[in-house]
């Protein structure tokens, strides 16, 4: 153990100084990119010792998680010195500047000094807002860690829309063509796009009130970028309200928020996110808003309104990931996403926030849609010729055309054999058609 405080070492007598310890950790990260705080050591370096309780280390971890931003993952160790127990908290990070309890500090010898405006401006102006170097870094994962079915489906989609000029051959060849492989190892972009190891965390919640005191639905989903995008779009689709109208002889359903608008923001949130071990994307829905957050702020001084009106060019945070998403039309066109969202939604139907912690976009739900009951039925194009089971399956396929028969069985609570009969009837009626193989294809609505 170090014997004196320095620009990378801080002593705290007890955990009563936990707040000061978190501040010291932030200031050391800003100065040196690393730092260690010892609890149970006096300022002069002599051992005082701690009484370690059941929640001692978890309280320290929670304080760091809640009050040190951007998030870091500390190493917390219990040590014995002179037969007394102490706690060592170590952290590393390059995502400067770090704040503690909403303020910015920098280390000077053994002191934590509040940053001046000039120092803070220097941190932000000197910071790289392009993650392309990170995208190309080699991981420990190889082609055996790739979801091959997803990759095949991706190439087929890109080929059909004319943005990919080759057919699928094998995992190694395909990833090499997409620049996602370094020798036999995935780079970060390849890992987060196509890995079968579920590398990303997506938090989803629905609250009955805006105060978010209790939830009516709360879940965590893990997957790669494509899986998280699909899950997020399905979650919002299934938890907003749909208005049903009779137009002539047809029943037409309209969502309270255009699907193309919230899908665009969801895709954007994964294309521009900053990935680290403690980060996650988040979606929650309350009676008045749909909240979409990603850990990756826009470049300071930029504004989505400027992107949409052409005043400012698009700035892509993860250019390799964004390019791969473009090839299969997950991203329709570069630099036009916000313009489409703003065109689809009224001026007062959205708001957004951008800070050092990430980017938040919120769709404001109208009072009319809040007071309307949820109408979750499907338009019957046969004029009443569908059974309830057929309507349920058709509705599910309308929301996600990549559902397998086993997926449909789980969603409806029916057996796979029953689903197979329903699929055959819907196909015979000319309502759906299978594109591609059973393994890698998808359904299209006719």
Domains delineated in the chain: 9-125 (3.30.950.30), 132-194 (no CATH), 200-236+259-367 (3.30.565.60), 388-445 (1.10.10.10)
Alpha-carbon gap, residue 425 to 445, rounded angstroms = 14
Residue 356's pLDDT is 67
What is the DSSP code (8-state) at residue 415?
Answer: -
Stated pTM of the model: 0.61
The tens place of each residue's pLDDT in the chain, 446 residues long, gives 667 999 999 999 999 999 999 999 999 999 998 999 999 999 999 999 999 999 999 999 999 999 999 889 999 999 998 899 999 999 998 778 899 998 999 998 899 999 888 777 777 655 655 677 889 999 999 999 999 999 999 999 999 999 999 999 999 999 999 999 999 999 999 999 999 999 999 999 999 899 988 888 899 999 999 999 999 999 999 899 888 777 777 777 889 999 999 999 999 999 888 887 678 999 999 999 999 999 877 665 566 766 566 555 556 778 899 999 999 999 887 656 788 888 888 778 999 888 767 889 999 997 654 444 334 444 444 445 678 788 888 888 877 777 888 888 887 778 888 888 898 888 888 888 888 777 767 777 77
Residue 252's pLDDT is 78
Alpha-carbon gap, residue 170 to 205, rounded angstroms = 38
Residue 301's pLDDT is 58
C-beta of residue 49 within 8 angstroms of C-beta of residue 77: no
Residue 404's pLDDT is 84
C-beta of residue 13 within 8 angstroms of C-beta of residue 42: yes
Residue matched to tokens 């989903």: 221
Peptide bond into 68 cis (omega under 30): no
Residue 257's pLDDT is 92
Residue 378's pLDDT is 43
Residue matched to tokens 């040196």: 32
C-beta of residue 294 within 8 angstroms of C-beta of residue 272: yes
CB atoms within 10 A of CB 131: 21
Alpha-carbon gap, residue 323 to 168, rounded angstroms = 18
Distances (CA, A) of 248 to 245, 251, 252, 380, 383: 10, 8, 10, 13, 12
Residue 384's pLDDT is 52
């Amino acid at each position: 153990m170090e014997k004196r405080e320095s620009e990378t070492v801080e002593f705290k007598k007890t955990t009563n100084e936990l707040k000061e310890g978190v501040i010291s950790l932030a200031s050391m990260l800003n100065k040196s990119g690393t730092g260690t705080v010892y609890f149970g050591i006096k300022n002069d370096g002599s051992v005082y010792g701690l009484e370690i309780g059941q929640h001692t280390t978890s309280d320290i971890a929670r304080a760091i998680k809640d009050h040190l931003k951007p998030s870091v993952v500390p190493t917390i160790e219990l040590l014995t010195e002179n037969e007394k127990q102490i706690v060592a908290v170590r952290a590393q990070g390059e995502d400067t500047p770090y704040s503690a309890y909403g303020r910015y500090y920098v280390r000077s010898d053994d002191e934590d000094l509040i940053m001046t405006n000039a120092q803070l401006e220097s941190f932000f102006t000197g910071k790289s807002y392009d993650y392309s170097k990170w995208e190309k870094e080699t991981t420990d994962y190889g082609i055996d860690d790739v979801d091959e079915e997803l990759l095949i489906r991706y190439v087929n989609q890109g080929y059909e829309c004319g943005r990919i000029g080759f057919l699928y051959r094998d995992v190694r060849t395909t990833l090499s063509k997409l620049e996602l492989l370094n020798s036999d190892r995935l780079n970060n972009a390849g890992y987060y796009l196509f890995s079968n190891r579920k590398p990303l965390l997506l938090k989803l919640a629905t609250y009955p009130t805006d105060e978010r005191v209790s939830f009516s639905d709360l879940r965590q989903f893990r997957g790669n970028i494509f899986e998280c995008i699909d899950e997020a779009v399905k979650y919002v689709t299934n938890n907003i309200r749909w208005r049903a109208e009779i137009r002539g002889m047809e029943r037409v359903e309209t969502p309270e928020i255009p699907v193309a608008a919230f899908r665009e923001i969801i895709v954007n949130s994964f294309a521009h996110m900053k990935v680290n071990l403690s980060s996650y994307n988040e979606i929650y829905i309350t009676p008045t808003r749909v909240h979409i957050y990603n850990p990756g702020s826009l470049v300071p001084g930029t504004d989505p309104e400027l992107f949409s009106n052409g005043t400012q060019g698009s700035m892509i945070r993860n250019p390799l990931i964004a390019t791969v998403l473009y090839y299969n039309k997950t991203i329709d066109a570069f630099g036009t996403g916000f313009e489409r969202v703003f065109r689809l939604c009224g001026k007062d139907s959205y708001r957004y926030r951008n800070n050092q912690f990430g980017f938040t976009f919120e769709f404001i739900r109208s009072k009319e849609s809040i007071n309307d009951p949820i109408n979750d039925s499907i338009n019957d194009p046969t004029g009443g010729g569908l059974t309830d089971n057929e309507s349920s399956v058709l509705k599910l396929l309308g929301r996600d055309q990549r559902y397998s028969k086993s997926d449909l069985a789980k969603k409806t609570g029916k057996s796979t054999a029953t689903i197979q009969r329903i699929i055959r009837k819907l196909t015979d009626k000319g309502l759906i058609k299978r594109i591609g193989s059973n393994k890698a294809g998808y359904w299209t609505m006719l």
